[in-house]
Amino acid sequence: SPEHSEWATVGSPEHSEWTTKRSPVNSGTFAPVRVIVPRGSLLDADPPHAVAGGNVETSQRVVDAVLGAFAEALPDLIPAASLGTMNNLTIGGHDPERDAPFAYYETVGGGAGAGPAGDGLSGVHVHMTNTLNTPVEALEYTYPFRVRRYALRRGSGGRGQHRGGDGLVREIEFLCPATVTILSERRRTAPYGLRGGQPGARGRNVLIRDGEEQDLPGKAEIQVEPGDVLSLRTPGGGGWGAPPQG
């Protein structure tokens, strides 16, 4: 339900930032917290408004907002923004080799925000995610795809006293016609830095066709042909603290 999702989203940073690792997670942990969600707002939309991606995209941005608010009161405790998206990718079509339809869905990690204790992690899922990546070998064995590149997006983490984690580059070449749907965030606005740290790099969705790159929006549905390559370049985390001089 929307209420359960809101509690989980708000409660996750509240518990991780305000308590120690030894603190149990129970109703007492959340007793001081009151969540107010106005009816008809983005987080509790009324019909017939369309809602999608609440548990994968909206939840990430709620965490960004909650941690950003906490940073005003607890500036030496709260980390900078992480990638802020799960980079959802869905691919469907008909596999000519197996003569069967196929459908594939994955989420792609990125950079975690740096904090007062150190740099952010690179190439990870954060906050509301709990999924692992699909191994290249399993993907290519099961689907009519070829993974052209899977690497850290070097330099995408925000600079700072502690540097934000780097995002990922995942490039998939299609071996047959397919329909591709992308649901992603942080393509227009960058993950924020804190205490003088710089923001992480924004993400990019790029279709490579006949050697030419075409930028795609954060939310897109496209038709691809054999030889086309989709390049997902995920956001880096924000930096924490002013970068060293010189």
One DSSP character per residue, 177-235 reads -EEEEEE---SSSPPPPBTTPPPPPPPEEEEEETTEEEEE-SEEEEEE-TT-EEEEEPP
Q: Are 165 and 123 in contact (CB under 8 A)?
A: yes
Give the model's confidence band at 79: pLDDT under 50 very low, under 70 low, under 90 confident, else very high: very high
Q: State both tokens at 54.
A: 């609440």
- Rounded mean pLDDT of 58-62? 90
Which pLDDT score, from 0 to 100, does residue 1 have? 46
- Rounded mean pLDDT of 175-189? 97
Is 234's pLDDT higher than 90?
yes
Torsion sign (Cα): 212, 168, 173, 89? negative
Strand partners, 88: 183
- Rounded mean pLDDT of 55-60? 89
Which pLDDT score, from 0 to 100, does residue 172 have? 98
| Stretch (H or E) spanning 242 | none
Task: Give the separation between CA 26 and CA 11, rounded to whole angstroms.
Answer: 11
Strand-pair category, 212-216 with 219-224: unpaired
Which pLDDT score, from 0 to 100, does residue 245 have? 84
SS3 for 21? Answer: coil
Which pLDDT score, from 0 to 100, does residue 21 have? 56
Q: What is the mean pLDDT of the chain?
A: 90
Q: Are 174 and 222 in contact (CB under 8 A)?
A: no
- Rounded mean pLDDT of 7-24? 56
Which pLDDT score, from 0 to 100, does residue 16 have? 53
Query: Which amino acid, residue 11?
Result: G
Q: State both tokens at 145.
A: 């795809």
Is 127's pLDDT higher than 70?
yes
- Rounded mean pLDDT of 119-125? 96
Which pLDDT score, from 0 to 100, does residue 215 have? 98
Is 25's pLDDT higher than 60?
yes
Crossing angle for the helix pair 59-73 and 2-18, to the nearest 10 degrees: 40
Percent of the chain having pLDDT more than 70? 90
Q: State both tokens at 221.
A: 């549905």
- Rounded mean pLDDT of 206-222? 97
Between 133 and 190, residue with greater pLDDT: 190
Taking the C-alpha atoms of 214, 233, 198 and 160 in order, what is their torsion angle to the nearest 10 degrees? -150
Rounded (5°) CA angle 197-201-202: 130
Is 30's pLDDT higher than 90?
no
Give the model's confidence band at 113: pLDDT under 50 very low, under 70 low, under 90 confident, else very high: very high
Q: State both tokens at 36.
A: 């107010």
